[in-house]
């Protein structure tokens, strides 16, 4: 109903896509706030560091390949290859879950090396910053699961590419965000 | 069927469907009570929900100030009725110190966030953006609805924090750690503080959902002909308000997350070297920095004051121009100064931290940037004055409040120049001078903008007018009262009287102000009573007010007055009007006003 109302507006870029871009700006500000807090704290006495676990390299590889698969699912959707689309979206969701699990393993490795919540050094910041990032990935996974079920619904066929485009933009964003965070933690250890 | 049409057939089908049914727009869905009044997706109803919730919050927040002014004005007297009402918080009829801190904390939180952010921009951004840009609704009506319900949830949590046994948060509206981070530090830092943080987190979500929608609606959903430079200044102001919120609230959110971890997970982002007197224990936390929180907080906190002020500026511009029957003076300069304020808002946060141990060299840059805000502010004031200069003024209640806004903005803005200097701030910080400054320039001025907006757009909201006599009483007592309350505080502050103290009577330097404090308290009570009169007027007029009989009662140019008197969901019956000119063609070529929908005539003069 209110969708109809929106749809008859004259429009340039689709409002939903635009809203996502603004939301991305907002999320960037949150991480900018946290990473600049990190920079400020780092220059103060009693700063402690942590060992970057190797599994973070693997998880980076996983999220990078998931970016590739979501791009392929978008292409498949636009070319109306439904089976391919379903496969790629499923793979993307699985890769996303693998990423979150690997992050979790990485956190527990750091935790076991003696870096707990006590203190205010790089490790504590990593838990919070990377943890928040993982929450954003989980949000994306939930959206992917909803799309997964929509894609298998026989009752309802949708050829509107906007949701898939929005999804892939968001997914590329959380991917890029993780790369930024990883480089940030590497450089500012 | 072309390939393109097949691929995107779905959305096209929806569009044609809509064109066919255009004539039924106002009422083509079955609406139940729930979908119309509660979980409504109509921006006008959501605006009213924000407004009503805001009014309830304003009464609560205002009542808090009456309570603590009672203490400040009559520190040596007891009021047994307070004990009856508040129990242990007013044992023996006297406001207890813990409760006093809770009152000032909640007064600040409620009025800054729940009234002047959600109540002000929530109401008018929702109401005016689609109506004034010519859209049927927001970009995402569903997100808009969520925005209100997150605000509602935040409200419920914040209200419930008033009733927990240890009381609500009481570490000031800024919630500085370590006080706010340590449950043992004070009663208010226990459960009340957690509820405060959770409520504020919900509030941030609400503001972000709303703000995203406002920005994408303004940029994407304007009607044909409505270029950005034809937008009314209200929309420009609401646009920059939303941008400020989107970019600054997430940073506050990060600050809150770190604070929550410090409270419950044992991290020490903000904590270091603390010995707690209440438990006689040294805390293990090391390496934290309390100033870090202040940076994160004020990175929101300063833009926040413009989030509060900009909508008031926008509405004042619109109302002053309409009721002076003159075009706004310096339209582009108005937009440029809004933009300048928005940019500068992000670059001045440390002027709240001059005395925290901030590097004085760094402080001098913040002084410069802070004082730079005087430039766009002065441009705005100049333009408002030149707009009403030799205008054909109509003193409607909305106009009076808009004029009051300009007056308050000037008087409050001037004291900002004092406070922006880091050297003067050594003396003035944490005194009543600060209290007076921000209450006038941000608190009362924005309230005046909000009142102006309510009086001006009430006929559009409810199809009835507010009562004028009550409105005039409301205006004059509030204006005079605001000056009588806050003007003397400058004087107390210059003398060094600190804020947030419960009782000055035993303090030789400041007990000379006892009579003045009593005077301020009496005026506060009168002004509060007059606000209740306004609330009465609001609800009475909603049902019994004089009916609006013409579509455009103020003779205004903007699009909202081209809708029916009581527009349905979708705003316009039939087609959305096309726009041919800017919003301020008043008194042009001998005509009183020319609506934005009227095509430019061949022999029309240029503006």
Contact B351, B371 (CB under 8 A): no
Residue B4 has pLDDT above 70, yes or no: no
Q: What pLDDT shows up at residue A188?
A: 83
A43–chain B Cβ distance below 8 A for any pair: no
CA-based nearest residue in chain B for residue A23:
B212
**Predicted pLDDT at A153:** 72
Nearest by CB to residue B286, choosing from A22, A30, A46, is A46
Look at residue B293 and tell me whether its pLDDT is greater than 60.
Answer: yes
The two structure tokens encoding residue B165: 């046994």
**Residue B185: pLDDT over 80:** yes
Beta carbons of B10 and A27 less than 8 Å apart = no
| Angle (nearest 5°) at CA B384 between B378 and B385 | 90
Q: How far is A95 from chain B (nearest CA, A)?
A: 27
Instruction: State the pLDDT confidence band at B97, using cuts at 50, 70 and 90.
Output: very high
Mean pLDDT of all residues in B238-263: 95
Contact at 8 Å (CB) between A121 and A47?
yes
Q: How far apart are the two ends of chain B, measured CA to CA in Å?
A: 48
Cβ-Cβ pairs closer than 8 A, A with B, add up to 169
Q: Are A165 and A173 in contact (CB under 8 A)?
A: no
Whether A37 and B7 lie within 8 Å, measured CB to CB: no
Q: Tens digits of per-residue pLDDT, B18-34?
A: 334 434 444 455 678 88
**Among residues 158-187 of chain A, which lie with CB inside 8 Å of chain B?**
158-162
Question: What number is the average pLDDT over the span B140-149?
Answer: 94
Q: CB A26 to CB B250 under 8 A?
A: yes
The pTM of this model reads: 0.92
- Rounded to an integer, what distance in angstroms lies between the CA atom of residue B338 and that of residue B241? 9
Q: CB-CB: which of B221, B253, B268 is closest to A15?
A: B221
**Smallest CA–CA distance from A33 into chain B, residue:** B251
Contacts of B149 (CB under 8 A, 6+ apart): B39, B206
Spatial distance between the Cα atoms of B306 and B74, rounded to a whole number of angstroms: 35
**Distance of CA A36 to CAs A31, A129, A175, B66, B360, Å?**
8, 11, 20, 41, 21
B264 and A CB contact within 8 Å:
no
Contact A30 B9 (CB under 8 A): no
Residue A8 has pLDDT above 70, yes or no: no
Read off the pLDDT of residues B479-530 as tens digits, 9 standing for 90 and up.
Answer: 999 999 999 999 999 999 999 999 998 889 998 999 999 999 999 999 999 9
pLDDT at A2 over 60: no
Closest to B99 in 3D by CA, of B113, B87, B111: B87
Residues B250, A6: C-beta atoms closer than 8 Å: no
User: Band of the pLDDT at A155, cuts 50, 70, 90?
Assistant: low
Per the structure, the count of domains in chain A is 1
Instruction: Tokens for A85, please give them.
Output: 């689309």
pLDDT at B8: 37
CB atoms within 10 A of CB B6: 12
Q: What is the mean pLDDT of chain B?
A: 91
What is the per-residue pLDDT for A12?
Answer: 62
Contact B216 A15 (CB under 8 A): yes
What is the reported pLDDT for B574? 86
CB contact under 8 A, A5 and B255: no
Q: Quick one: closest CA in B to A157, which residue?
A: B10
A122 Cβ partners below 8 Å, 6+ apart? A38, A42, A47, A48, A49, A50, A185, A188, A189
Alpha carbon B590 to chain centroid, angstroms: 38
Question: Residue A145 sits in which domain range?
Answer: 2-187
Contacts A47 to B, Cβ<8 Å: 287
ipTM of the complex, rounded to two decimals:
0.89
pLDDT reported for residue A154: 66
> Any CB–CB contact under 8 A between A10 and chain B?
yes
- Is the CB of A117 less than 8 angstroms away from the CB of B266? yes
**How much of chain B exceeds pLDDT 70, in percent?**
95
Identify which of A16, A27, A160 has the shortest CB distance to residue B10: A160
Q: What is the domain partition of chain B in residue ranges?
A: 38-593
Say what the pLDDT of residue A10 is: 46
Q: What is the pLDDT of residue B396?
A: 96
In this predicted structure, the answer to whether residue B217 has a pLDDT above a threshold of 60 is yes
Taking only residues 197 to 236 of chain B, the set having a beta carbon closer than 8 angstroms to any beta carbon of chain A reads 208, 211-213, 215-217, 219-221, 223-224
Q: Which of A14-28, A71-85, B6-20, B384-398 has the highest mean pLDDT?
A: B384-398
Q: What is the CATH number of the domain that holds A61?
A: 1.20.120.80
Contacts with A9 (C-beta within 8 Å, 6 or more apart), sequence order:
A15, B135, B136, B220, B221
| CATH placement of domain B38-593 | 1.20.210.10
3 state SS of A187: helix
Q: Are B293 and B255 in contact (CB under 8 A)?
A: yes
């Amino acid at each position: 109903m209110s969708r109809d109302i929106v749809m008859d507006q004259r429009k340039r870029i689709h409002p939903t896509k635009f809203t996502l871009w603004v939301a991305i700006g907002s999320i960037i500000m949150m991480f900018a706030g946290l990473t600049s807090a990190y920079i400020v704290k780092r220059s103060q006495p009693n700063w402690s560091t942590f060992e970057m676990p190797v599994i973070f390299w693997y998880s980076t590889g996983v999220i990078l390949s998931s970016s590739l698969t979501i791009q392929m699912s978008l292409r498949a959707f636009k070319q109306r290859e439904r089976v391919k689309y379903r496969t790629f979206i499923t793979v993307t969701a699985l890769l996303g879950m693998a990423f979150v699990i690997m992050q979790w393993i990485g956190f527990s490795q750091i935790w076991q090396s003696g870096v707990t919540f006590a203190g205010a050094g790089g490790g504590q910041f990593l838990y919070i910053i990377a943890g928040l990032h993982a929450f954003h990935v989980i949000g994306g996974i939930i959206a992917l699961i909803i799309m997964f079920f929509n894609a298998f619904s026989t009752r309802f066929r949708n050829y509107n590419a906007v949701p898939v485009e929005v999804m892939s933009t968001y997914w590329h964003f959380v991917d890029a965000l993780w790369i930024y965070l990883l480089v940030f933690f590497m450089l500012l250890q | 069927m072309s390939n393109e049409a097949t691929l995107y057939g779905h959305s096209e089908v929806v569009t044609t469907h809509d064109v066919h049914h255009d004539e039924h727009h106002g009422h083509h869905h079955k609406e139940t009570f729930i979908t119309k009044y509660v979980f409504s997706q109509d921006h006008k109803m959501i605006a009213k929900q924000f407004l009503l919730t805001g009014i309830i919050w304003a009464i609560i927040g205002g009542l808090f100030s009456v309570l603590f002014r009672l203490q400040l004005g009559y520190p040596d007297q007891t009021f047994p009725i307070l004990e009856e009402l508040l129990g242990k918080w007013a044992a023996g009829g006297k406001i207890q110190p813990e409760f006093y801190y809770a009152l000032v904390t909640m007064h600040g939180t409620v009025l800054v966030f729940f009234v002047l952010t959600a109540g002000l921009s929530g109401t008018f951004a929702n109401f005016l953006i689609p109506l004034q840009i010519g859209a049927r609704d927001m970009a995402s009506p569903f997100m808009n609805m969520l925005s209100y319900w997150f605000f509602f949830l935040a409200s419920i949590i914040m209200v419930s924090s008033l009733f927990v046994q240890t009381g609500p948060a009481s570490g000031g509206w800024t919630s500085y750690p370590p006080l706010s981070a340590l449950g043992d530090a004070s009663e208010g830092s226990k459960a009340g503080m957690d509820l405060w943080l959770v409520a504020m987190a919900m509030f941030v979500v609400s503001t972000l959902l709303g703000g995203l929608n406002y920005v994408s609606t303004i940029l994407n959903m304007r009607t044909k002909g409505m270029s950005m430079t034809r937008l009314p200044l209200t929309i420009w102001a609401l646009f920059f308000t939303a941008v400020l919120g989107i970019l600054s609230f997430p940073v506050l959110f990060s600050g809150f997350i770190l604070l929550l971890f410090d409270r419950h997970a044992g991290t020490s982002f903000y904590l270091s070297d603390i010995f707690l007197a209440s438990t006689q224990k040294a805390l293990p936390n090391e390496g934290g920095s309390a100033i870090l929180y202040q940076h994160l907080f004020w990175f929101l906190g300063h833009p926040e004051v413009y989030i509060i002020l900009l909508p008031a500026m926008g509405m004042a511009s619109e109302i002053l121009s309409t009721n002076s029957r003159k075009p706004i003076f310096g339209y582009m300069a108005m937009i440029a100064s809004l933009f300048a304020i928005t940019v500068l808002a992000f670059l001045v946060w440390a002027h709240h931290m001059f005395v925290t141990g901030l590097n004085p060299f760094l402080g001098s840059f913040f002084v410069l940037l802070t004082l730079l805000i005087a430039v766009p502010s002065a441009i705005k004031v100049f333009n408002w004055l030149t707009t009403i200069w030799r205008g054909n003024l109509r003193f409607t209640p909305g106009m009076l409040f808009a004029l009051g806004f300009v007056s308050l903005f000037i008087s409050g803005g001037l004291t900002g120049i004092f406070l922006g200097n880091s050297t003067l701030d050594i003396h003035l910080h944490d005194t009543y001078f600060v209290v007076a400054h921000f209450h006038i320039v941000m608190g009362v001025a924005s309230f005046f903008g909000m009142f102006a907006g309510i009086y001006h757009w009430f006929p559009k909201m409810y199809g009835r007018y507010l009562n004028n006599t009550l409105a005039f009483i409301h205006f004059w007592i509030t204006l005079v009262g605001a000056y009588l309350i806050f003007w003397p505080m400058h004087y107390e502050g210059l003398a060094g009287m600190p804020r947030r103290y419960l009782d000055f009577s035993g303090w030789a330097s400041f007990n000379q102000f006892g009579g003045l404090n009593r005077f301020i308290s009496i005026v506060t009570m009168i002004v509060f009573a007059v606000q209740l009169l306004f609330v009465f007027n609001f609800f009475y007029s909603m049902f019994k007010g004089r009916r609006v009989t013409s579509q455009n009662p103020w003779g205004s140019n903007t699009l909202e007055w081209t809708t029916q008197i009581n527009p349905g969901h979708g705003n316009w019956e039939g087609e959305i009007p096309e726009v041919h000119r800017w919003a301020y063609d008043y008194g042009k070529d001998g005509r009183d006003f020319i609506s934005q929908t009227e095509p430019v005539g061949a022999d029309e003069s240029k503006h």
